Amino acid sequence: MNFHIMTLFPDMVEQGLKTSIIGRAEAKGLLSIDAVNIRDYAFNKHQSVDDYPYGGGAGMLMQAEPVFQCYEAVCQKTKASKEGKRPRLVYLSPQGRTFNQEMAEEFAKEDELILLCGHYEGIDERVLEEIVTDYVSIGDYVLTGGELAAMVMIDAIARLVPGVLHNDVSAEFESFQDHLLEYPQYSRPETWHGKQVPPILLSGHHANIEKWRREQSIIRTAENRPDLLEKAELTEKEQKFLEEYRKNSLQS
Question: Which CATH number belongs to the domain containing residue 49 in this structure?
Answer: 3.40.1280.10
d(CA 115, CA 155): 13
Clarify whether residues 136 and 218 are in a common domain. no
Mean pLDDT, range 119-139, rounded to an integer: 96
Clarify whether residues 159 and 199 are in a common domain. no
What's residue 175's pLDDT?
A: 57
Clarify whether residues 56 and 152 are in a common domain. yes
In which band, very low, low, confident or very high, does the pLDDT at 203 lie, cut at 50, 70 and 90?
very high
Domain count, the chain: 2
pLDDT per position as a tens digit, 157-169: 999 999 999 765 5
d(CA 115, CA 158): 14
Clarify whether residues 141 and 211 are in a common domain. no
d(CA 117, CA 8): 8
Of 49-53, 84-88, 103-107, 223-227, minimum mean pLDDT range:
84-88
Q: Give the burial string for 214-227 (b: 16+ CB within 10 Å, else e).
A: bbbbbbbbbeeeee
In which band, very low, low, confident or very high, does the pLDDT at 178 lie, cut at 50, 70 and 90?
confident
Report the Cα 185 to chain-centroid distance in Å.
23
Pair 116, 6: CB distance under 8 Å: yes
Binding-site residue ranges? 118, 138-143
What's residue 251's pLDDT?
A: 87
Mean pLDDT, range 191-206, rounded to an integer: 97
What's residue 168's pLDDT?
A: 58
Clarify whether residues 121 and 239 are in a common domain. no
Binding-site residue ranges for S-adenosyl-L-methionine? 118, 138-143
Residue 172: pLDDT over 80 = no
Clarify whether residues 123 and 35 are in a common domain. yes
